[in-house]
Amino acid sequence: MNKCIAIIAGEPNSISSEIIFKSWKLKNQFIHKPLFVIGSIRLLNLQRKKLKYQIKIKKINDRFRINDLKGGELPVYDIEYNQKKPFEKISNKSNKYIFKCFDAATKFVKDKKILGFINCPISKEHLFKNKYQGITEFLSKKTGEIGNEVMLIYNKKLSTSPVTTHIPLSQVSKKISQYKIVKKVKIVNNFYKKIFNKKPNFAILGLNPHNFSLSKKSEEKEIINKAIKTLIKLKIKVTGPVASDSSFMIFKKYKFDVIIGMYHDQVLTPFKALYNFKAINITLGLPYIRISPDHGVAENITGKKIANPRSLIESIKFFNYIN
């Protein structure tokens, strides 16, 4: 049965509904698996009218069949949420609703009704209140996979993954370790072998500018070099430490498939400059595939009908690789 996917509607007061509607209107232009949305039908209808989309929504229940997902109507598994206006200011008000959406999605996975799910943009600051660094860490706790989670920002030409995620820069040096680098690279390597039948070529970045430190005990010498030696012994294709400032300039020359960075902005800043909305965020290390568009809630353009749905469409298309 699990040949379909679910899309969690995300933060109610964001561009989430707009990119869902735009993707649905374009669905005949790309190959994709059957899908449905998890969210409030009442709210989606309010937002649909506000945005002036001529899309019909149909309600499905937890006993749905694949045939129920076919046709021109957008299938939605209804999660009750009472909001009077189509869009309001983002607050903690929607937290319970969003958690209920995630609960429904994870139950569908557990019951083998879906292959995995996509969550549309969510305001992590309001949802988690510093309890979790992000959705990646939240789902690893929810599934009992703490420490196995990996954030992979994917594009078919190049992917990137930070060893640490949403933490202050001042903490990065203390949070990286030989063990953590090796573990995360192994998880990404296994993912590429399973999904693409390919042994990826990794670039492992250093931490310091030009991999240089005035200290005799630098992170490159004490941690990163040792991790690289371990990975080479495991017959994983790695190069490094590669200097951060040139890594995204030389990836084509050295045919890197994945660039592993030590911290979030070290790799996501140049990656987004290269690929913008053509990238997606995949959480590895869970019992299922979870993807999200690689952008935020965009509260400043909510309700203006100018949001780009490309990253959500790429997220939907990626499930074509999953069986």
Q: Are 292 and 280 in the same domain?
A: no
Q: Are 138 and 158 in the same domain?
A: no
| Of the candidates 85, 77, 131, 129, the residue with the CA atom closest to the CA atom of residue 106 | 77
- The predicted pLDDT at position 133 comes to 79
Q: Which residue has the higher pLDDT, 322 or 119?
A: 119
Q: Which residue has the higher pLDDT, 136 or 315?
A: 315
Q: How many CA atoms lie within 13 A of 181 on its CB side?
A: 34
Q: Are 165 and 263 in the same domain?
A: yes
Q: Are 112 and 247 in the same domain?
A: no
Q: Are 63 and 180 in the same domain?
A: no
Q: Are 126 and 12 in the same domain?
A: yes
User: For the chain, what is the mean pLDDT?
Assistant: 93
What CATH number is associated with residue 204?
3.40.718.10
Q: Are 227 and 319 in the same domain?
A: no
Please write the tens of the pLDDT for every residue from 74-83.
999 999 998 8
Q: Are 39 and 109 in the same domain?
A: yes
- The predicted pLDDT at position 93 comes to 84
Q: Are 292 and 277 in the same domain?
A: no
What are the structure tokens assigned to 98, written together? 């969003």
Please write the tens of the pLDDT for every residue from 126-155.
888 778 878 888 888 888 888 889 999 999
Q: Are 2 and 141 in the same domain?
A: yes
> Structural domain of residue 178, as residue ranges?
150-284
Kindly tell me if the per-residue pLDDT of 39 is higher than 80: yes
Please write the tens of the pLDDT for every residue from 59-71.
999 999 999 999 9
Domain count along the chain: 2
Q: Are 134 and 195 in the same domain?
A: no
What does the pLDDT average to over 2-6? 89
Q: How far apart are CA 55 and CA 57, in angstroms?
A: 6
Is the separation of the CB atoms in 167 and 175 below 8 Å?
Answer: yes
| Of the candidates 132, 111, 16, 120, the residue with the CA atom closest to the CA atom of residue 64 | 111
- The predicted pLDDT at position 126 comes to 85
Percentage of the residues of the chain whose pLDDT score is greater than 90: 82
Please write the tens of the pLDDT for every residue from 11-22.
999 999 999 999
Q: Report residue 194's pLDDT band, with 50, 70 and 90 as the boundaries.
A: very high
Q: Are 120 and 103 in the same domain?
A: yes
Weakest mean pLDDT among 112-126, 138-152, 193-207, 271-285 = 138-152
